[in-house]
Amino acid sequence: MSPRPGEIVLEGATRSFSLRHEHSRTLKELFIRGGHAKRTVVTALDGVDLRVEPGEAVGLVGRNGAGKTSTLRCLAGIVPLDSGRAECGGRTVSLLELGAGFGEEFSGRENIYLNGALHGFGRREMEERIEAIVEFSELGEFIHAPVKAYSAGMQLRLGFSIVAHLDADVMLIDEILAVGDESFQRKCLARVSERMEAGATLVLVSHDPMAIERVCRRLVVFDGGKVAYDGEVPEGLLFYHRLLGTTEGASRSVRPGDRRADLEIAELELQDAQGRRRHMFRTGERLTVALEVDCVQPADRAVAALEVRDAHGALCFRTETALGRVDGTVEVSFAVERLALLGGDYDLAVGVFDQDAPGGGLLDRIAHFSVAQTPEGEGVADLRGAWTVSGRAGEAVPR
Amino acid sequence: MRRYRFLFEQMVRRELRQKYKGSALGVLWYFVNPLVLMGAYALVFSVLLKVAGGIEDYPLFLLVGLIVWVFFSQALLSAAPSLVLNGSLVKKVRFPRESIPASVATVQLFTFLVMLAVVAPVALLMRDSLDPALALLPVIVVLLFAFVLGASLVVSVLHAHFRDVEPVLAAALLPWFFLTPIFLPVEKMPGVGEHPWLGDLLQWGNPVAPFIEAVRDVLFAGAAPTVANLAYLLGVGGGALIVGLVLFRRMGRDLAVLL
């Protein structure tokens, strides 16, 4: 039974890649190894079952190689499955990577036609849409320039504008909303919502939790080619960040060269109220920054400094404290009772140094964390204000 | 299939313009190369080597054979790397991948048809070879295109798997050219007089030879090709197309991973 328009069905979808395929083969290799080359088989999809109803917006996240992009490619029909079923009902359009199928030498306009044709549209259907696509892309006169002259942002605009106007039942989009300026992103999201109200289904792969939170009502976390989580977005993002935290380094050092400081941060961890390591927090939650400092040489006037910057690198908060005399191993923590940051990605930089030593003041350990989006506010800081309204409907309100 | 007619049109247009985009002559380059090639061969064989062997209107004889060969060899040489060159399309969108080598072969078909439109009237006039057999020319051209299309599908998908295919093909086409009855009819080729089996081998062992013979029969001699020859063209043309489509479908499954 084929799926209804907008419905997506994955049943026992399995696909593995032989790594030998990654580089091109030559006849010489074939003769020498007699076609029995050693190969490493990577299972990108391991019996995935997933069903998406028409009109749903689903985000896919996972570590690199977890199977999210493979899922998208199999759904788009670009890569066939080894076994199982991967079907999208109705017309499917895909926007995988930047500038899907752009002929570099051709103008933006010519590329719109080519892209429509690749998605199975006819000349008349494209002629009906071209003006709307050009207008949406905001490329103006550049639409007549060859695409090779476009910036990444312009290619994105063009690619998204095309896909958004192809009246698809299923839209498969990979890592796209992460690029481009804020106003265009907003426009894209509005267009996506519009398409979804018309009954279209969206599957979005992204590393950007904000993009997923804004658009998707359902999140699927892939791990090792399997579905590890399927459900609500905020819980899913917490699950995902816990998954990341278990294997990836919690923080990294940005100390230039191999200069060893007298005071070394051995450990930097972000913890939740239960003392568990986390990278994803919610506004209003408790957050603790825990440090373990190794003193290579005792210091008399040690100082710990900490700062938080947003995704654009703007300083949100900075503080420092005197530690006094330190020796051996010292544990330092900074506790935030109620996290007053709003949704977004943040960098936390920490440094411990001797005030009297030369070259001090360097914040050389950086940890990355995200705050889940809340519907209450946008921006960086949660000002915890409360609205009151007087002069309710019915009373005379001056206009 | 009808759904992708516009795609095919776009691909052909793209292929036609892509190669020489930005050059002064543009699309005209498609004719410059074969013309120079044919001029050079005509010079070498008819003037310098004097192979003519008692053939009347020898340059014309040579030209008729050459346009078929140039079509065949140029189509294969440009089809072989076509999938690899269009890897970015294959990896990002789902569409019938056959359209890539098919559009390359079609562009070469256009070149061939233009050449034919120039050479045919000249041949018919000079040789006074206008004959009802001319009605067979479109049939021969269709079968030739089927053969070239099938072969293009095969070499393109093979090249995607084994990147040696293009250089091997380029190397093979050179001796192949001299074994093909282009500059002499089969019966006048060296050694054929003493060994009639060699003539049969050169005539039927090389799928391009009967196509050249047939076109030459119609345009140069003003006679219909033999029934055996036409049957051969039908078999080779249809066979190549079927083999090409089947092989492409089987080996082209994983193109998005290979490229």
Residues A233 and A356 in one domain: no
- Judgement on whether residues A352 and A236 belong to the same structural domain of the protein: no
- pLDDT tier for residue A258 given thresholds of 50, 70 and 90: very low
The pLDDT score that the predictor gives to residue A25 is: 61
Question: Which of A15-29, A231-245, A274-288 is predicted most confidently?
Answer: A274-288
pLDDT of residue A231: 92
Report how many domains make up chain B: 1
B contact residues 226-255, partner A, Cβ 8 Å cutoff = 253-254
What residue numbers bound the domain in which B118 lies? 2-258
B-chain residue closest to A73, CA distance: B92
Q: Answer for the pair A65, A71: CB distance below 8 angstroms, yes or no.
A: no
User: Which of these ranges, A30-39, A200-209, A293-302, B73-82, has the smallest mean pLDDT?
Assistant: A30-39
Q: Give the closest residue to A129 by CA, choosing from A169, A84, A171, A165.
A: A165
Q: Which range of residues forms the domain containing residue A316?
A: 249-371
Mean pLDDT of B25-35: 79
Average of per-residue pLDDT across B192-215: 92
Asked, for residue A389, whether it belongs to a domain, the answer is no
Nearest chain A residue to B99 by CA distance is A118
Both A86 and A234 in one domain: the answer is yes
Closest by CA position to A8, among listed A81, A67, A72 = A72
> What pLDDT is recorded for position A302?
87
**Which chain A residues are within 8 Å of B91, Cβ to Cβ?**
78, 96
In the stretch 95-134 of chain A, residues with CB closer than 8 A to chain B read: 96-97, 100-103, 105-106, 110, 113-123, 126
pLDDT at res. B243? 97
SS3 state of residue A158: helix
A200 lies in the same domain as A257 = no
The mean pLDDT of B148-157, rounded to a whole number, is 97
Give helix B29-42 / helix B58-79 axis angle, nearest 10°: 130
| A67 and A208 co-located in one domain | yes
Among the partner residues B6, B18, B90, nearest to A122 by beta-carbon distance? B6
Residue A213 within any structural domain of the chain? yes
**Cβ proximity of A60 and A66 under 8 Å:** no
Q: pLDDT tens-digit profile of A91-143?
A: 888 888 655 567 778 889 999 999 899 888 999 999 999 999 999 988 889 99
Q: Which of residues 71-100 of B touch A (CB under 8 A)?
A: 88-95
Give strand ranges (E) for A233-298.
Answer: 251-253, 263-271, 280-281, 287-295
Mean pLDDT of chain A: 81
Q: Is the pLDDT of residue B157 over 90?
A: yes
Nearest Cβ partner for A100 among B9, B21, B92: B92
What are the contacts of A377-386 at 24+ separation with CB within 8 A?
A: A377/A342, A378/A342, A378/A343, A379/A342, A380/A310, A380/A314, A380/A316, A380/A341, A380/A342, A380/A344, A381/A316, A381/A340, A381/A341, A381/A342, A382/A283, A382/A284, A382/A340, A382/A341, A382/A342, A383/A340, A384/A340
Block residue for tokens 């193109």? B255
Whether the predicted pLDDT of A51 surpasses 90: yes
Contact A109, A139 (CB under 8 A): no
What band does A245 get if pLDDT is binned at 50, 70 and 90? low
> Do both A42 and A26 map to the same domain?
yes
Q: Is residue A294 part of a domain?
A: yes
Residue A249's pLDDT is: 39
Residue A351: inside a domain? yes
Question: Containing H/E element for B38?
Answer: helix B29-42
A214 touches chain B (CB under 8 A): no
Say if residue A231 is in the same domain as residue A270: no
Q: Among A43-52, A316-325, A369-378, which stretch is predicted with the lowest mean pLDDT?
A: A369-378
Q: What is the per-residue pLDDT across A148-175, written as a single tens digit (0 to 9) for each?
A: 888 877 888 888 888 889 888 999 988 6
Mean of pLDDT over chain B: 90
Q: What total number of domains does chain A contain?
A: 2
Asked if residue A114 is part of any domain, the answer here is no
pLDDT at B57: 84
* Whether A361 and A266 share a structural domain: yes
**With 70 as the cut, is the pLDDT of residue A35 above it?**
no
Of the pLDDT bands very low, low, confident and very high (cuts 50, 70, 90), residue A248 is very low
Residues with Cβ within 8 Å of residue A138, at least 6 apart in sequence: A157, A184
Distance in angstroms (rounded) separating the CA atoms of residues B140 and B127: 20
8 Å CB contact of B6 and A76: no
- The confidence score (pLDDT) of residue B259 equals 78
Asked if the model's pLDDT at residue A323 lies above 60, the reply is yes
Amino acid B241: pLDDT: 97
- Phi and psi for A227 in degrees, rounded to 5? -80, 115
Instruction: Please check whether residue B54 is in contact with residue B60, taking contact to mean a CB–CB distance below 8 angstroms.
Output: no
pLDDT of res. A12: 92
Portion of chain A with pLDDT greater than 90, in percent: 20
What pLDDT sits at residue B257?
85
Banded pLDDT at A396 (limits 50, 70, 90): low
Predicted confidence (pLDDT) per residue in B66-106, tens digit: 999 999 999 999 999 999 998 888 888 889 999 999 999 99
In chain B, the largest separation of any two C-alpha atoms, in whole Å, equals: 58
Q: Is A37 part of any domain? A: yes
Tell which A residues from 60 to 89 touch B, by Cβ distance under 8 Å: 73, 76-80
Q: Do B5 and A28 touch (CB under 8 A)?
A: no
DSSP letter assigned to residue A300: E
- pLDDT, tens only, A66-95: 788 888 889 888 999 999 999 998 888 888
Are A293 and A367 members of one domain?
yes
pLDDT at A44 over 50: yes
Question: Is B19 an 8 Å CB contact of chain A?
Answer: no
Which chain B positions have a beta carbon within 8 Å of A106's beta carbon? 14, 17-18, 21
Q: Does the distance separating the beta carbons of B258 and A79 come in below 8 Å?
A: no
Torsion, CA B85, CA B91, CA B97, CA B103, rounded to 10: -30
Q: Where are the alpha helices (DSSP H) in B82-223?
A: 82-85, 87-92, 99-127, 137-161, 165-179, 196-204, 208-216
Please report, for the domain that includes residue A204, its CATH number: 3.40.50.300
A91's CB contacts (< 8 A; 6+ apart) are A5, A119, A120, A166, A167, A168, A169, A170
Residue A251 has pLDDT above 80, yes or no: no
Q: What angle do CA B113, A120, B99 make, to 5 degrees?
A: 35
Residue A145 falls inside a structural domain: no
| Whether residues A358 and A268 fall in one domain | yes
Does residue A238 sit in the same domain as residue A253? no
Q: Of A189 and A11, which is predicted with more confidence?
A: A11
Q: Which amino acid, one-letter code, is at B210?
A: P
Q: How far apart are CA A223 and CA A61, in angstroms?
A: 9
Same domain, A276 and A317: yes
Domain holding A259: CATH number? 2.70.50.60
Q: Rounded to whole angstroms, how far apart are CA atoms A348 and A328?
A: 25
Is there a contact between A290 and A267 (Cβ–Cβ < 8 Å)?
yes
- DSSP assigned state of A277: B
Q: Is residue A205 part of a domain?
A: yes
Residue B258 contacts A, CB cutoff 8 Å = yes
Residue B109 has pLDDT above 90, yes or no: yes
Note the ipTM here. 0.84
User: How many other CB atoms sit within 10 Å of the CB of residue A7?
Assistant: 20
